[in-house]
Amino acid sequence: MSSLPPGAASERPTPLDSGNTLTEDAYRALRRDILRGVRQPGERLRIERLRGLYGIGPTPLREALQKLGAEQLVTVEGNRGFTVAPLDFADFDDLNTARSAVESAALRLSLTHGRDAWEAGVVAAAYLLRKEDRALHASSAGVPDAWEAANRAFHAATVAACGSTWLLRVREGLHDQSERYRRASVYQRQGSRDLAREHAEIAEAVLAREIARACRLVDDHFALTATSLSRATPTDRKPREPPADRASPANLHDPH
């Protein structure tokens, strides 16, 4: 699958956390930027360029890229270096199958055990997401981080009462792995897909404790994200690589 513009992710890289090791700093920042689409699918990750972007040395960067390779977010090409892994619909389909199964399991438990505080959390998250869905629908600027954050918070709120730490941990990992695919899919259907309606129906079923309906709606919601991306993506285009002389964003050690 060729790369798709993931939306309006800023070219400014993720700030580093001074409390971590340099390798951990580089890993967290690069991972976040790959998921957000700041580092795009197919982009060559040249060490010298990354040094300028992230203000960190070559050894921690290489170690971070090796870790990202183990997560299949980066392709390690031996002596040729590193590349952001391309978007692969077959991989996303498999990922979506796992994500839907885990989400349904967590949702069933959450709807069974959730109390008043859980319901209030779902209502609040649905309200915030409704505002972001409307803003996204009216915008032509891409998929902002605010929408992604609200979407993440809403779906997390619906399963928050499941009671299983391991189930939620696995779910979070699958959600992270899906992010760059989700952004690309939403970007492709921006203005034509009624995400506000989809989310409203899910919220209604969740708050009514309609377990079967809520699970079906979430499964359909995830599946539409996958099919929208596959239909929108031509298979014969190569991933886009940014120009080698693109101006670097401000050094991340600059607090401004």
Q: Scanning the structure block, which residue is given the tokens 């899919």?
A: 185
Distance CA 201, CA 217 (A): 8
* Contact criterion met (CB below 8 Å) for 63 and 26: yes
- Kindly report the three-state secondary structure assignment for every residue of the chain: CCCCCCCCCCCCCCCCCCCCCHHHHHHHHHHHHHHHCCCCCCCECCHHHHHHHHCCCHHHHHHHHHHHHHCCCEEECHHHCEEECCCCHHHHHHHHHHHHHHHHHHHHHHHHHCCHHHHHHHHHHHHHHHHHHHHHHHCCCCCCHHHHHHHHHHHHHHHCCCCCHHHHHHHHHHHHHHHHHHHHHHHHCCCCCCHHHHHHHHHHHHHCCCHHHHHHHHHHHHHHHHHHHHHHCCCCCCCCCCCCCCCCCCCCCCCC
* Tokens representing residue 54 in the block: 């992230």
pTM: 0.74
In the prediction, which pLDDT does 23 show? 93
Instruction: Please name the residues in contact with 197: beta carbons below 8 A apart, sequence gap of 6 or more.
Output: none
Provide block-wise average pLDDT over 10 residues at a time, the chain (256 residues).
46 55 93 88 93 93 94 85 90 92 98 98 98 87 85 97 97 90 82 90 98 98 85 44 35 35
Torsion of CA 38, 43, 44, 48, to 10 degrees: -20
Strand partners, 75: 83
* pLDDT at res. 233: 52
